[in-house]
Amino acid sequence: MRIDGIDFAIIVAYLAGVTLFGIHFRRRQTSLREYFLSSRTAPWWALAGSIVATETSTLTIISTPGIAYASDLGFLQLVMGYLIARVIICLIFIPHYFRGEFYTAYQFIEKRFGERMKAATATVFLGTRALAEGVRINAIGLVVSVAFGTGETVSVAIMTALTILYTFAGGMRAVIWTDMVQLVLYLGGSAIAFFLLLHKIPGGWAHVTQVAAVSGHKLQIFHFNFSLTESYTFWAGIIGGTFLTMASHGTDQTMVQRLLAARNERESKAALLASGVIIFVQFALFLVIGVMLYVFARHTGLLAPGGDTDRLFPAFIVRDLPVGLSGLVLASIFAVAMSNASGSLNSLASSTIVDFKRLRGERRLDDPSLVRLSRWVTVGWGLVLGLFGLVHWGVVLVAGLTIASITYGGLLGVFLLAIADRRATPRGALSGLLTGLGAMVAVQYAPRIAGFFGMELHETIAWTWYVLLGTIITFSVGWMVSRFDHAPAQPTEVQ
């Protein structure tokens, strides 16, 4: 099951075109402010598109339909939490980020808790982003193996190399505008796949709703039972989704960098809120496609019993879409992979250069020579992401979200401590961060820990609660330790 030559040509043409488009921004990169923040000249609507393209990944496109295929539309409950979090970020986080010339989110922590805490939170971000992006890059290998019938190593290497090339050259400006191109492409390609899939189902939408109802209410969205062990309930979605997005969009440099690139605070908020509307529509589209694939597979045997649901949508694209359209939709999936990787590379490089003073030496952030160093740091992180992309992670969407959820609670707890508790000290913040991270690692590996002691753990906390739990632990420990610490922090100036 491989793609046609015309489809292959379309994919190659896209990959070459978007790479050249990103490279042409190279001539403007003369300062870190330009390289990492696009000189704060990007319009809000472009930043909104970049946020969506970065938040979306190959995981979203191939795993979200698989979730609905295996269950129902309950994942949308989590997306509702994503929307609530955006409002909170606009009210609490963004105003603080525009009270100074910040390049990264962790400079805010430096201003509140000092250099050591900035390095600690930046280190957590770097580790989290590298692992999570490795899962995303691995996901594109699944698509390529289905489309070309080849192994994953070569595909991961090619995609990583092309993304490094235009991110290395064009910096944040290239990332933002290539994100916009890729957003239009993958949403358009997914919409085309939706209508062609609907056309191929005998009886159309009426048949989809009939089969979905008979097969266990697959169009159901809400599950109001309260459970700490189920991932997709109303409460886990609203509460867990809110805290997850508060952390990912309010403390993760990959997203905060886009908020900081806005012309002013008002446009930063507009970009974030507009992205929420697009995200909701997008997830609804992919979930409904999953339900439609469930109905379609009953007539065609698209997926073997017990098969990998992450391969479901790529298999439909390659096998059932017309020549030309198949290449377009596959190119859109590659677009998402490149968009994610480019944003992550630029944010990893920005945090490395800005947040670790020893690396840049005595040079100030306005030193033009730091642009060259930033480019080579980008290459270094690209190689790291490529290696992580070769690891097999299991169900990729859940794996990616779980990795982030383990560490996000610690980050969010520290940021909330910095904002809400004026008596919080660096020692308290560091104690809270380390305790929160340790507790969440223990929660994640609780079954193995129990097994080591000869016990059996039948149920574990669902990953959707991880960020909330980690935030509570981090904030509580930080608050308590700060009350016994007699050396409160003095705010420092960010250089």
Cα distances from 184 to residues 49, 231, 311, in angstroms, run: 9, 31, 23
pLDDT of residue 494: 47
Q: State residue 253's pLDDT score.
A: 92
CA dihedral (202, 203, 205, 210) in degrees, to 10, reads -100
8 A C-beta contact, residue 1 and residue 318: yes
- Determine the Cα–Cα distance for residues 488 and 422; give it in Å rounded to an integer: 10
Class of domain 5-397: mainly alpha
Residue 96, token pair as written in the block: 């603080």
pLDDT of 124:
92
**What residues does each domain of the chain span?**
5-397
Q: What is the DSSP string of 387-454?
A: HHTTS--SSHHHHHHHHHHHHHHHHHHHHHHHHH-TT--HHHHHHHHHHHHHHHHHHHTHHHHHHHTT
pTM recorded for the entire structure: 0.86
DSSP string computed for 134-179: HHHHHHHHHHHHHHH---HHHHHHHHHHHHHHHHHHHHHHHHHHHH
Q: pLDDT by residue for the chain (495 residues), tens digit each?
A: 566 788 888 888 887 888 788 777 776 667 888 888 888 988 999 999 999 988 887 767 777 888 888 888 999 999 999 999 999 999 999 999 998 889 999 999 999 999 999 999 999 999 888 888 877 777 676 666 666 665 667 777 777 787 888 787 778 888 888 888 888 888 888 888 899 889 888 888 998 888 888 877 888 899 998 888 888 889 999 999 999 999 999 999 999 999 999 999 999 999 999 999 999 999 999 999 989 988 888 777 666 555 667 777 877 877 778 888 888 877 877 777 777 788 888 899 999 999 987 777 777 887 878 888 888 898 899 888 888 777 765 554 555 566 777 889 999 999 999 999 999 999 999 999 999 999 998 888 777 776 666 666 666 788 889 999 999 999 999 999 999 887 655 555 444
Tell me the torsion sign for CA atoms 142, 148, 154, 158: negative
DSSP state of 364: -
